[in-house]
Each structure stands twice: as C-alpha cells, then as structure tokens.
C-alpha cells in the first residue's frame, strides 16, 4: 500500500488509482498508478516479504516476478 500523503504529488484524481495485472501471473506484473522511486513490496500468504524493488522510469511499471518461487 502506498499512502498518498507520502508522495511528492498526492493523488487528487480518482482516475489515478493503483492497478496491477494480470492476476494471477508467473512472469511479469504490470503496475500502474505508481511514480518513479516508489518502492513495491510483494508478500506471500504468510505475510513474508518475497520481493522488494524500487520502481524506476526505465521499467515503465513492469515488474519481473519470475524469480519468486511458487
């Protein structure tokens, strides 16, 4: 979860909502509604962090998740 109050440009338009697809996925996730330098955490069902990454402009909201064990 990314609280809007911690961003440089807080979300003020409802069209700027976080979205993630496809779900489920094995290889990549497309993530929208994020800003460069946002940090993304992915948790497993037990609440453990299985991936942490910082978004940069080169990734364009694409997150590789093939390295996460099923």
> Is residue 5 included in any domain, yes or no?
no
Torsion of CA 23, 25, 29, 30, to 10 degrees: -50
Please, what is the average pLDDT of the chain? 78
Number of domains composing the chain: 1
- What confidence score (pLDDT) does residue 32 get? 85
Q: Is 34 a residue whose pLDDT tops 80?
A: yes
| pTM (global) more than 0.75 | no
Q: What is the CA radius of gyration of the chain?
A: 13
Section 15-25 average pLDDT: 82
Residues of the domain holding 49: 16-64
User: Binning pLDDT at 50, 70 and 90, where does residue 12 land?
Assistant: low
* Cα gap 37→47, rounded to integer Å: 23
**How do the residues of the chain divide into helix, strand and coil, expressed in percent and rounded to 5?**
10, 30, 60
> Is residue 29 included in any domain, yes or no?
yes
> Is residue 34 included in any domain, yes or no?
yes
Q: Is 1 a residue whose pLDDT tops 50?
A: no
């Amino acid at each position: 979860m990314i609280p809007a109050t911690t961003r440089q440009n807080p979300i003020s338009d409802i069209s700027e909502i976080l979205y993630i697809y496809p779900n489920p996925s094995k290889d990549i996730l497309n993530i929208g509604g994020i800003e460069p330098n946002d940090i993304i955490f992915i948790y497993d069902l037990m609440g453990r962090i299985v991936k942490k990454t910082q978004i940069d402009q080169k990734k364009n909201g694409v997150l590789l998740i093939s390295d996460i064990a099923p």
